Structure 1
Amino acid sequence: MKSFSGNLAPNMMYTAKGVQRVHAHVRIISIVKACEEAGIFSVPLLSLHAIAYFSDALAPVWNIPVVEAQILKRIRSSMSPQLQHDIDDLVGMAVLLPTNVRHVQADSTWRLDANYSLNHEFTDRIFAALRKDEGWARELMLTREVTLALSGLGVGGISGAVLVDANYSDPLLDFGNLIDLAPEDMKPTRTAQVTERFASLMEGERACTDAELTHLYVRHLYSQLQEATDGAS
């Protein structure tokens, strides 16, 4: 297991809640950065929420702490109020730049929607500092691989992929209940169990890297989406 030092800044004290928010902010901007690498230069809100969800769902595979352990299971896709608050914080700090801001109707209510890009005047220096630390560099690698894998589904498919995730699609968990991505009993989540199955199947040939397991899991999601589409037609 690789170490996660996560040094935030020298000679500074952070509360536990403050550290969690720093991790959340880094997770968000690293997703938007990875989306740029994948050719998505203005990230839709639902895609940003979905990639953040998968980054947490797959974090145990990388031995990286989960940023948001509990997510409310919704009918359409993953939408976290805390994540949205963190996105809004970054907009307020001018780290994220919103475009196409509008109100949209969702589940008989209205919410604010937008697309997001990086303000490179600030984020280039942030990423330069993060890459100097082994723990932060590894977290950037997690979100990069998750984002690049999901980008193959297309912008429209990224948010829909949440609905076929092993945790999210658990038939024993009704909509409106909480999905626990970091159980206190340390038992592997359903998503982690699927990736462990992939690892065991490949064990006779060679050991899979964390990035390879991430891409294998997203391929599995793609097949699940295809089955759901074929079944509906």
Structure 2
Amino acid sequence: MDASSSLSDVTCAIRVRVLQTFAALENAGATPISDRDLQSVVYLSNVLSPVWDIEPLEGAVLKTEEGPRSIKFETELDACVGLGLVEVESIQADEERPDKLSACFRLAGRNAAPLLEVIAAFPDERRSAAFLNEIAFAFVEIAPGLRDDAATADAAWTNPSIVTDRVVRFAGEGAKANPTYNVAQAFQNYAPEGQRFTPAQQLDLYVRLLKRRVDG
């Protein structure tokens, strides 16, 4: 496989994830969604993917004061907007940084539906879609004004050994133990005797923990 075909495969995988993410957010009633909230969802879907044994789109992100930002996802989101698969609902000044513009997005359902049907024919993609649905439905339980803070309350992001402008690694080569995964797994220690938490329950419990953290 040459470099161009490899790049095409990666691009396709990310574009599929963009559509699945928006489909999940639509199902959860979380659209239109701001770019800040969207980046929070994308980060959580990456860092929590080991709970469901799903490969994250990215195993590392730069830690900045503004929070996590997936350039790969953002690039393919722009492509999906250009293809008419995702719609820009509105554009306004960013509430936290008025010198910047913030957009709100939603799935272009009629255009995206045929592609999502094809994607759903693959078992691995159905599993990814189920995972993203769990993320989306848990995410909407966080108060709207606090959703963009959820990612920065995450265990991997708040790891004190990773300072601002350093890379937060939670998967892939060279990554240390994923603190987020470890916390999600630790919930099992508090389960009733004889009960085993499912990945969906672990994910829900973890996002509830984030909700408590951002609610103060």
> Does the TM-score normalized on the shorter chain lie above 0.5?
yes
Q: CA RMSD in A?
A: 2.2
Indicate yes or no: 2:155 matched with 1:166: yes
Please identify, of 71-80 and 178-187, the stretch whose mean Cα deviation from structure 2 is larger: 178-187
Amino acid at match of 2:89: T
Stretches of 4+ aligned residues off by more than 6 angstroms? none
Paired residue for 2:49?
59
Q: Paired residue for 1:152?
A: 141
Whether 1:119 and 2:105 are equivalent positions in the alignment is no
Given candidates 122, 130, 149, the residue that maps to 1:141 is: 130
Matches within 5 A, 1:1-233: 15-104=5-94, 110-185=99-174, 187-202=176-191, 204-226=193-215, 229=216
Rate the CA distance shift 1:187–1:72 in 2: closer, same or farther, 3 A.
closer
Letter in 2 for 1:94: G
Q: Distance in 1 between matches of 2:95 and 2:207?
A: 29
Q: Distance in 2 between matches of 1:186 and 1:101?
A: 37
Contact 2:42 2:70 in 1 (8 A): no
Distance 1:65 1:185, change over 3 A: same
Deviation at 1:34, TM superposition (A): 1.7
For residue 159 of structure 1, report the CA deviation from its aligned partner.
1.0
C-alpha offsets along residues 53-107 of structure 1, whole Å, 9 cap, x if unaligned?
0000111111111101221112132222222212111111111111212454866
Kindly indicate whether the alpha-carbon contact (under 8 Å) linking 1:45 and 1:115 is maintained by their aligned counterparts in 2. yes
Consecutive unaligned residues in structure 2, runs of 5 or more: none
Normalization by structure 1: what TM-score?
0.83
**Unaligned residue ranges in structure 1 (runs of 5+):** 1-13
CA drift of 1:39 comes to: 1.8
- In structure 1, how many angstroms separate the alpha carbons of the residues matched to 2:147 and 2:108? 23
Percent identity for Structure 1 against Structure 2: 21
Q: Which digits, 9 at most, give the CA deviation of each residue in 1:122-177, with x for residues without a partner?
A: 21111211222110000011111011101100322221011110011111111111
Q: Give how far 1:19 is off.
A: 2.2
2:22 partner amino acid: V
TM-score scaled by structure 2? 0.89
SS of aligned partner of 1:179: strand
Output the CA distance in 1 between the equivalents of 2:9 and 2:179.
27
Aligned residues: 214
Q: Measure, in 2, the Cα distance between the counterparts of 1:189 and 1:56.
A: 11
The 8 Å contact of residues 66 and 181 in structure 1, kept in 2 or not, is answered as no
